Amino acid sequence: MTQQQQQRRTFLQQSAGLAAATGMFSFWPKASAQAPEASGKAMGMSSIAELSRRLAAGSVSSSQLVEEALAAIQNPAGEGARAFIRVHADSARAAAGRLDADRKAGRPAASQISGIPISLKDLFDEAGITTLGGSTVLAGQPPAARDAIVVERLRRAGAIIIGRSNTVEFAYTGLGINPHYGTPKNVFDRATGRIPGGSTSGGAISVADGMAAGAIGTDTGGSLRIPSALNGLVGFKPTQRRIPLDGVLPLSTSFDSAGPIAWTVEDCALLDAVMAGELPRPIRVPPLRGLRFAVPKTFFQDDLSPAVASAFAAALSKLSAAGATVTELPMAEFAKAPTINPRGMITAAEAFTWHREFIKTGAAKYDPRVLARIKTGETITAPDYLQLQALRRQFIRSINTAAASYDAMLMPTTPDTAPPIAEVLKDDDTYYRINGRMLRNPSVVNLFDGCALSVPCHEAGSAPIGLMVAGIGNTDHRLLAVGWAVEAAVTPRRVLSS
């Protein structure tokens, strides 16, 4: 056993003892003396934590999980062809075989995500592969020389990268539409064909449809939380500086962050710890009684659809009934949000800086709607850009002060449920209007450099709706613990596949 493995084992033993003494939840699964019998499919709606316990107990193998994921991707009646740009079938099978052999030999797993299929948004570099960004513009560019730091960490932790998931071209809208590789349909109302949300569209559908147990994506203005909210999943946007973005194709260096999508807050915490390069750590999930939540009345609740307004009110009532203090406040500081990044000026300026050489030679290859948004950055002057950055710094300070005495802020993740794809594509005005509404609420968290979860809060069987649980910057661990408690009160029960 290496020194690193010994340190990890010692840490886990200490954590297990601490968890037993304090009631904290440990990230490490206990191997059961009475392992459940494997029956039917293990993937489907099973969480990473659930799958990890089964792997530790020996009732399922990594190879079985990989084969189930690949079968779901290859199902001609499913969304795999639109959810993935590239599938790593051979390398995933090889990795699963090695990890299964290690388990049989008694070698300790590297982490709780070891042996579990994970999808990777097509923005993260993998050695030997050209990162396309959901576009055809970069086809023919040299392959990446090395994995992105996040990918290196996932591999060291034993995650199996099942493939590269589809995204809005260069991650530049919140709808999930991609004219190059197709648009995967939302998990709800497949007959109608609703938007998946974006930009991490393929990642969300990969989890919702059992093609992966978790998804790694990015979030510049809601790109993890929007598709999570619209598909009944949990998405976590960390504080930007928490996760290194080395080897990740940029959209906006001011707002880009990397994070996970999964079935549960626990799973997001597991993936977040690996992405952040942390050792597993117990999370103390606080009782809701005694928690203090601020509900901003300014901005976030404007013009909500009836379904979202009803679900949001019901979620607040459930939290209050559980003993939490839920206080609606003006929080007028948020009224300034539209002036910090008006018409996406900061985002567009930074995006255009990266894209301008590609636009010179390959503008015709871009999605015209994405290209139009990027090109708005061409006319933004340096004084305008610097002034907006100064306003943003003031905004961050004001929100940090306003929210400091609360455990979290609560707001609807999006003001609407997922509209039909056909409606979004009706014309440019409709496309940009719906895109603006989807991005409206979650993008504010990127503006104040905070962290946020989207957890499902809809009634079972109805269109998915997300509750955003947001905190100020660098409070990620606390927010995940609080979000775990919120999830237990407001999220509809999952019916696991057998």
**Residues 62, 111, 114, 121: which is the catalytic one?**
121
Q: Is residue 29 part of a domain?
A: no
Domain containing 400 — which CATH number? Answer: 3.90.1300.10
From CA 123, how far away is CA 354, in angstroms rounded? 14
**Residues 62, 119, 135, 223: which is the catalytic one?**
223
Whether 52 is catalytic: no
Whether 223 is catalytic: yes
Which ranges constitute the DSSP H helices of 378-427?
382-403, 421-424
Q: Is residue 9 part of a domain?
A: no
Q: Is residue 39 part of a domain?
A: no
Q: Left, alpha or beta for 468 (phi > 0: left; psi -120 to 50: alpha)?
A: beta
Please count the structural domains in the chain: 1
Q: Determine contact, residues 92/118, Cβ cutoff 8 Å.
A: no
Q: Is residue 2 part of a domain?
A: no
Rounded CA Rg of the chain: 22
Q: Is residue 22 part of a domain?
A: no
Query: What was the pLDDT predicted at 280?
Result: 81
Nearest residue to 95 (alpha-carbon basis) of 132, 122, 69: 69
Whether 360 is catalytic: no
- Whether the bond between 206 and the residue before it is cis, its omega within 30 degrees of 0, is no
Query: What was the pLDDT predicted at 40?
Result: 57
**Residues 199, 201, 257, 454: which is the catalytic one?**
199
The CA-atom distances, in angstroms, between 351 and each of 132, 171, 190, 407 are 15, 10, 33, 34
Average pLDDT, consecutive stretches of 10 residues, N- to C-terminus, the chain (498 residues): 40 33 29 32 92 97 98 97 98 98 97 98 99 98 98 98 98 98 98 98 98 98 98 98 98 98 98 95 94 98 98 98 98 98 97 98 98 97 98 98 98 98 98 98 98 98 98 98 98 66
- Give me the DSSP letters along 140-188: TSPPBSS--HHHHHHHHTT-EEEEEEP-SGGG--SS---TTT--PPPSS
Q: Is residue 27 part of a domain?
A: no
Q: Is residue 14 part of a domain?
A: no
From CA 201, how far away is CA 37, in angstroms rounded? 34
Q: Is residue 17 part of a domain?
A: no
Please tell me the pTM assigned to this model.
0.92
Q: Which residues constitute the domain of residue 165?
A: 52-490
Query: What was the pLDDT predicted at 494?
Result: 73
